């Protein structure tokens, strides 16, 4: 099956400087994939030439005259930037010219535009952001990462369902296990919404494993961890902060004396392996899940390797047809007039 | 000033096996401190003897016939365990026989009993749990860590106020800076309670620095980070999870071959320094702040070094009279009939 991915070439902190070479890299790695770059035609032309890319049916440009700024209000981007590289990329899914799109741009704007243009799947109230995170046993998926705040118990159930379908599609896990993020049994057992979501999940057909705590995410106890977007975003960002702190400590430890610096040199190949495992680029590419289409959000500061990874995620999800699977899962319950 | 600290000697995963030697260690380190161990008299007697401790006015025992279990419901501990080592330790503050207490026991029960026996300070609705966390620049305080869920904007303001007084007392920071934990400006800007707390803090006399995100905690951008207890607990636990994951990766990297194992041996003294910086024992001792008294919660799995650190925190806070400072700060506003 040939897939076509639209790339918002002007999005992210580095824009086409990163996205054009990433596109050329991906085309050299996989067959049966077409990429459409959306953005300033002249600039993209020059960059493709510079990176020895070949324009043709595998790599094409769709001109867009505007660009959504990283700090622009989503509502404004939606209203005013109708010819932005982001909007044009999403439109290509709507018209059927592309199967998916990848953007490193403004997350709020991407969510707002994707929701407006593509609509959510029947039975899904709100799309969510989901991403893979490393664990001691491999990786797990965490959602929502910030698309929704004050999620209701029903929203949390829908997140669980979408996560389950996604993990099944991407990792071929037959019946992915789901944990609901909560705080220690020691203290107050969660808030009302979490307790209610626990009841819904316990009676669902999903492989629900009960409550998990923040540290369980990285233990790999479950395949999917479900939480409200405010909580998930804080968990993700705190984790990034700790990882940076640890690297800072490690660097400091090797710079205490000439002796430790020499050891540091010797240890470089070992630490290279360590850094590779810690490399957030290996996990670049979050999903805006719950939409009528595959929309992948790359980190704004993604480099060529990281952005290429996000494109690969889009290819896999398109080939596995994730939105269709979510719909298929929801259908029997929709007939009965309710999701749960 | 001589201070007396009550130690819940039966609490925590290791109970008196850890707490008795920790107490003896602290007495050998500081002057002007008296410690009262609460718990099973015979067992404590034997352990003090075993560890060459001297019973007398500096180290005494207050018998308690019960023990709060780690998984016991707080309400049950409060109702039924009236002669538990935890309750007896807190009672000693109430009667004025002790200035503070330290417990490694069940957090929920400690909070419930402390709140019932000691009451909250005038103007404080709910006590909070606060702890120091390492940052690139030193450390910062995070609260609430799980005592409260669904905190209101007023609660968040009170947390900020208590954090400010505590950081000032412990670290001698004249006017500690406060950040309100939120999610990226990129996406939806927080929930309603956070937005409202932002407005209250902006008009307060506190040194409010605005919103911070999860990764800013470890950057050391502010002295105090304020959030709801559910969010704070998840942030803390996720951080612990990542730190463990990183150590796992590091260990794995050094065990790939005989060569990397040899390098690992060479690198041991350097990594020792690294491990010391990462050592959570350096930060053991969270505060139950907002009560009429100093109550310190040690980690349940604390070892001797870690529990001793928690005792030292109790000594410092007693000497600095943190509860009185919080009251003094609140008083002018209480007269006007409102806190804010």
Q: Does residue A219 belong to the interface with chain B, where contact is any CB pair within 8 Å?
A: yes
Q: Does residue B66 belong to the interface with chain A, where contact is any CB pair within 8 Å?
A: no
pLDDT tier at A278, thresholds 50, 70, 90: low
Looking at the partner chain, which of A149, A184, A249 has a beta carbon nearest the beta carbon of B190?
A: A149
What is the CATH architecture of B1-124+290-340? Answer: 3-Layer(aba) Sandwich (3.40)
- With contact defined as beta carbons under 8 Å apart, do B157 and B338 qualify? no
Instruction: Look up the ipTM and state it.
Output: 0.85
When mean pLDDT is compared across A165-174, A268-277, B121-130, the lowest value belongs to A268-277
CATH (one of 2.40.110.20, 3.40.718.10, 2.30.30.100, 3.20.20.60) for A1-124+290-321+335-340: 3.40.718.10
Q: What is the pLDDT of residues A210-226, one digit of tens each?
A: 999 999 999 999 999 99
- With contact defined as beta carbons under 8 Å apart, do A60 and A36 qualify? yes
User: Which residues in chain A are contacts of B149 at CB distance < 8 A?
Assistant: 183, 188, 190-191
Q: Could you tell me how many CB contacts below 8 A there are between chain A and chain B?
A: 212
Average pLDDT score over residue span B242-258:
81
| Predicted pLDDT at B278 | 65
User: Residue A335's Cα: distance from chain center in Å?
Assistant: 30
| Predicted pLDDT at B272 | 73
User: Which residues in chain A are contacts of B187 at CB distance < 8 A?
Assistant: 107-108, 111, 146-147, 229, 233
> Residue ranges per domain, chain B?
1-124+290-340
pLDDT tier at B335, thresholds 50, 70, 90: low
| Predicted pLDDT at A268 | 73
State the smallest CA–CA distance between residue A14 and chain B in angstroms.
Answer: 17
The strand order across the sheet containing B3-8 reads B59-63, B33-39, B3-8, B100-103, B294-297, B286-289, B128-135, B138-143, B224-226, B177-181, B207-212
User: Which residues in chain A are contacts of B103 at CB distance < 8 A?
Assistant: none
Q: Do domains A1-124+290-321+335-340 and A126-285 have the same CATH topology?
A: yes
B231–A218 C-beta distance less than 8 A: no
Token digits of residue B66: 């019960």
B243–A190 C-beta distance less than 8 A: no
CATH (one of 3.30.1360.120, 3.40.718.10, 3.40.50.150, 1.10.10.10) for A126-285: 3.40.718.10
Q: Count the Cβ atoms, other than its own, within 10 Å of residue B207.
A: 17
Rounded Cα gap, residues A17 and A37, in angstroms:
12
Percent of chain B with pLDDT over 90: 62
pLDDT tier at B186, thresholds 50, 70, 90: very low
Q: Count the Cβ atoms, other than its own, within 10 Å of residue B301.
A: 13
Q: What is the pLDDT of residues B93-114, one digit of tens each?
A: 999 999 999 999 998 899 999 9
Average pLDDT score over residue span A72-79:
91
User: Which residues in chain A are contacts of B135 at CB distance < 8 A?
Assistant: 245
pLDDT tier at A322, thresholds 50, 70, 90: confident
pLDDT tier at A263, thresholds 50, 70, 90: confident
A240–B184 C-beta distance less than 8 A: no
Q: What is the pLDDT of residues B201-226, one digit of tens each?
A: 999 989 999 999 999 999 999 999 99
pLDDT tier at B268, thresholds 50, 70, 90: confident
User: Which residues in chain B are contacts of A246 at CB distance < 8 A?
Assistant: 242-243, 246, 278
Q: Any idea of the CA torsion for B252, B253, B255, B260, to the nearest 10 degrees?
A: -170
Rounded Cα gap, residues B267 and A114, in angstroms:
50
Percent of chain B with pLDDT over 70: 93
Q: What is the mean pLDDT of chain B?
A: 89
Q: Does residue A257 belong to the interface with chain B, where contact is any CB pair within 8 Å?
A: no
Residue B173 has pLDDT above 70, yes or no: yes
């Amino acid at each position: 099956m040939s897939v076509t991915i639209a790339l918002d070439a002007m999005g992210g902190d580095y824009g086409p400087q990163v996205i054009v070479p990433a596109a050329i890299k991906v085309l050299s790695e996989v067959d049966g994939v077409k990429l459409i770059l959306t953005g300033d035609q002249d600039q993209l032309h020059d960059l493709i030439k510079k990176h020895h890319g070949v324009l043709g049916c595998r790599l094409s440009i769709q001109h867009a005259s505007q660009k959504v700024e990283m700090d622009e209000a989503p509502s404004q981007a939606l209203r005013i930037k109708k010819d932005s590289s982001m909007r044009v990329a999403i439109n290509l899914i709507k018209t059927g010219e592309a199967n998916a799109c990848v953007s490193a741009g403004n997350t709020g704007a991407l969510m707002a535009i994707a929701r407006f243009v593509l609509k959510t799947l029947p039975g899904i109230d709100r799309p969510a952001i989901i991403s893979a995170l490393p664990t001691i046993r491999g990786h797990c998926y965490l959602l929502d990462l910030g698309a929704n705040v004050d999620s209701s118990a029903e929203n949390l159930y829908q997140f669980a369902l979408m996560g389950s379908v996604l993990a099944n599609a991407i990792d071929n896990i037959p019946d992915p296990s789901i944990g609901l993020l909560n705080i220690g049994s020691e203290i107050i057992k969660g808030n009302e919404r979490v307790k209610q979501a626990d009841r819904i999940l316990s009676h669902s057909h999903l492989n629900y494993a009960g409550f998990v705590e923040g540290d369980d995410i990285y233990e790999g106890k479950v395949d999917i961890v479900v939480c409200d977007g405010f909580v998930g975003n804080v968990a993700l960002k705190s984790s990034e902060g700790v990882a940076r702190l640890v690297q800072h400590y490690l660097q400091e430890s090797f710079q205490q004396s000439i002796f430790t610096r020499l050891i540091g040199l010797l240890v470089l190949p070992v630490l290279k392996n360590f850094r590779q495992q810690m490399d957030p680029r290996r996990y670049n590419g979050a999903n805006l899940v719950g939409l009528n289409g595959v929309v992948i959000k790359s980190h704004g500061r993604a480099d060529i390797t990281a952005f290429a990874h996000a494109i690969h995620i889009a290819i896999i999800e398109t080939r596995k047809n994730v939105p269709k699977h979510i719909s298929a899962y929801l259908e029997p319950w929709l007939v009965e007039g309710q999701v749960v």
